[in-house]
A = this chain, B = another copy of it.
């Protein structure tokens, strides 16, 4: 490849940075496996991309002979599940842009070891954001969320910052009514944060993709969960978030998390993500809230034993002190409410002259 070609290619690279999110009410179970349409709407807080982020550089060009995906410095096999998920997205966007250009995608995740945060949410949302610019699509956040959703369900909520609601949709056959709306932006209530207590997982966990399918198929109690989340949790959460009513938010978050892990346990065979340490944290949070006479921290658990304590800046030290006294909590990290994906300048690009020469032969 000559110098001019490389120079031309470099000028077409776009780099974005995005983050994961922590759900206040969760997505568990889909009624359409391909379009990824959930049984209930869900709400999440986008995490600040300072500590938890994906950086993704994309390059589309006719010079590229076949798609290439490099993650954390390693060339990925196009047949891998996660890589296929990424190119499902890229294909949708290429179709929209009416182009067949192949892509070089170089991505890097900065996720603290064992934090158990959804790196796919961060990865897919950042990829959609970067491709939107690189392909000149000029999509709205709503349109981007619809695309991200089809890669990895909960990733769609990371397309916007602050607190986002992923509408379940379900009236439109193509899934175009299952998109994300921002409830508040990250400046509306900047004191909101997630304190993550990292806990040893012990036994290997069931993937959430497989787990939610089993729950839908086998749990008798799941039959009423989507309606409960949709009708009792979601509208109250939206209202409480807009009103900055932490007491109500906290109670709803904890109830919803328990409800989720209840239907997991009601799955056959049962799925356990919580362990004895998770349970100790749950007890300790209830005790702390009771002692304070109001809810100052609310636990929520994804598909793993790590506790996410949603709290406000003013209570950060109280929560951390409490967590430090629990045996089995291996690490504690705090992440603020954050923005949606952003474009980075070319100096931050992961596609350099060297890796163009290395990966595009």
Could you tell me which A residues sit within 8 Å of B by CB distance? 202-203, 219-221, 223-225, 228, 232, 251, 254-255, 258-259, 261-263, 265-270, 272, 275-276, 279-280, 282-283, 286
Residues on the B chain within 8 Å of A223, using CB: 224
What are 7 inter-chain pairs, A to B, with CB distance below 8 A? A221-B224, A221-B259, A254-B269, A261-B265, A270-B282, A272-B282, A275-B279
Residues on the B chain within 8 Å of A203, using CB: 279-280, 283
Contact of A266 among B251, B259, B280 (CB under 8 A): B259
Closest 8 CB pairs of A and B: A262-B266, A262-B262, A262-B265, A221-B221, A276-B276, A220-B228, A258-B270, A269-B286
A318 CA / B223 CA spacing, docked (Å): 36
Residues on the B chain within 8 Å of A254, using CB: 268-269
**Given the contacts A221-B259, A223-B224, A224-B220, A202 and B276 also touching, CB distance less than 8 Å:** yes
A254-B268, A258-B270, A269-B286 known; 12 other A-B pairs, CB under 8 Å?
A203-B283, A219-B262, A220-B224, A220-B255, A220-B259, A221-B228, A254-B269, A258-B266, A262-B265, A269-B282, A275-B276, A276-B276
Contact present for B202 and A262 (CB under 8 Å): no
Q: Which of A225, A258, A280, A282 has the most CB of B within 10 A?
A: A258
Residues on the B chain within 8 Å of A262, using CB: 219, 221, 262-263, 265-266
Residues on the B chain within 8 Å of A221, using CB: 221, 224-225, 228, 259, 262-263, 266
Q: Which of A224, A228, A267, A269 has the most CB of B within 10 A?
A: A269
Contact present for B268 and A279 (CB under 8 Å): no
Q: How far is the CB of A195 from chain B (nearest CB, A)?
A: 19
Residues on the B chain within 8 Å of A286, using CB: 269
Q: How far is the CB of A58 from chain B (nearest CB, A)?
A: 42
A160 CA / B179 CA spacing, docked (Å): 59
Q: How far is the CB of A294 from chain B (nearest CB, A)?
A: 15
Closest to A289 in B: B269
Residues on the B chain within 8 Å of A283, using CB: 203
A251 CA / B266 CA spacing, docked (Å): 13
Q: Which of A224, A254, A265 has the most CB of B within 10 A?
A: A265
Residues on the B chain within 8 Å of A270, using CB: 258, 282
A203 CA / B275 CA spacing, docked (Å): 13
A279 CA / B202 CA spacing, docked (Å): 11
Contact of A265 among B219, B224, B265, B267 (CB under 8 A): B265
Closest to A277 in B: B276
Q: How far is the CB of A62 from chain B (nearest CB, A)?
A: 52
A280 CA / B276 CA spacing, docked (Å): 12
Residues on the B chain within 8 Å of A279, using CB: 203, 272, 275
A274 CA / B282 CA spacing, docked (Å): 14
Residues on the B chain within 8 Å of A276, using CB: 202, 275-276
Contact present for A258 and B268 (CB under 8 Å): yes
Residues on the B chain within 8 Å of A263, using CB: 221, 262
Closest to A218 in B: B255
Closest to A258 in B: B270
Residues on the B chain within 8 Å of A269, using CB: 254, 282, 286
A79 CA / B255 CA spacing, docked (Å): 37
